[in-house]
Structure 1
């Protein structure tokens, strides 16, 4: 059974992940602004389905793979750390844009919105690398079923991600307008995100489990 301390720590890490810039946030923000909250919410449901795919994959195979072939975990760990650092650099490099600067999108029907949200998350390299790199660090075989622990942590991650992304969908226009009129805060947001990303990269790089 996962301890309360582990759950809270993992929830905080998940919060850092969902608040860091990436395809999911950019897509949901842009979709909600260009087509409205309903379209953003339908897209979010597709994103959530993508998370469930990663949870199931983690439960059924990735943990066993890491135990059998530890070098696979090492490779994923360093790839995840390097990718986080790359995202951090892209957030603050000269001429970088902010995730709060929406991209124009064409109006799409609900079915396509759901599918696009699903594929955006499923093919998101940040989620693909970080999900399999971070979650196993919080699983302890000495505390019971690895399968149950992975499922519990996965549901925590989905709950945190859904809550934050739902807030983004609901207030997307206000967020974009507020930051658009305050360029200093927009730059600060980029540096905060870069700091979060760098911290997560350091956690991965120095993990010895």
Structure 2
């Protein structure tokens, strides 16, 4: 099916992309720092789930249909920005109330962080375009069904993302734990909210790629 050389090149490209700082990395690190390693891993799992959905959209042609409609890019990015602002508010308000009442920071369920990460990734128009443009570059129509090859490549992206973000969450959670014990900080939501607002601004000023 897929040649060994192509598979190796694809893995190298995916690893390079994972190592490049971006919104997914910021989402995992910020949640691991604010709520612990488990929260960061939940965020990483949500991103991997979104990758699988993006793969499904690419294989079925849904991504191409969405990208072909000119207003789609702006609608998705503004919806994503609004969602991130809402997450920032949700992150800071309960923690501020807890701090003013001298209570421990309000824990966030891992399932909720999973859903937030997945939806945040799905509302990133560059992620949709990435799967639609990046995956087909490695497909060889002479080596079997194109849709199956796309599915395999998308699955690899999801697995690599899950492993990479899991390690990132572990390291970030441990580092944040040491810093919290040293500083005595009890309002981790402030840093998380700042990251979410920064990602929202990034989406607002995002330019549509020429390749789209």
| Residues 1:15 and 1:177: Cα distance change in structure 2 (over 3 Å) | farther
Alpha-carbon distance, 1:35 to partner = 0.4
Stretch moving more, 119-128 or 14-23: 119-128
Report matched runs for 1:61-80 at 5 Å.
Answer: 61=61
Structure 2 counterparts to residues 1-209 of structure 1, below 5 A: 1-61=1-61, 107-173=107-173
Give unpaired runs (5+ residues) of structure 2: 74-90, 96-106, 179-208
Shift of 1:171: 0.4
Bigger drift between 119-128 and 13-22 goes to: 119-128
Residue range with higher mean Cα deviation, 13-22 or 105-114: 105-114
Offset, 1:174:
5.3
- Mapped to 2, the partners of 1:11 and 1:153 lie a distance apart of 9
Could you say what the CA RMSD is over the residues aligned between the two structures, in angstroms?
3.1
Aligned length: 147
Contact kept in structure 2, 1:23 and 1:120, CA below 8 Å: no
SS where residue 112 of structure 2 aligns? Answer: helix
Residues 205, 121 of structure 1: alpha-carbon distance in 2 compared, 3 angstrom cutoff: closer
Instruction: Output the TM-score relative to the length of structure 2.
Output: 0.60
**TM-score, scaled to structure 1:** 0.61
- Report the CA distance between 1:154 and its aligned residue: 1.0
Cα-to-partner distance string for 1:125-157 (whole Å, 9 max, x where unaligned) = 332222211111011111110011111111111
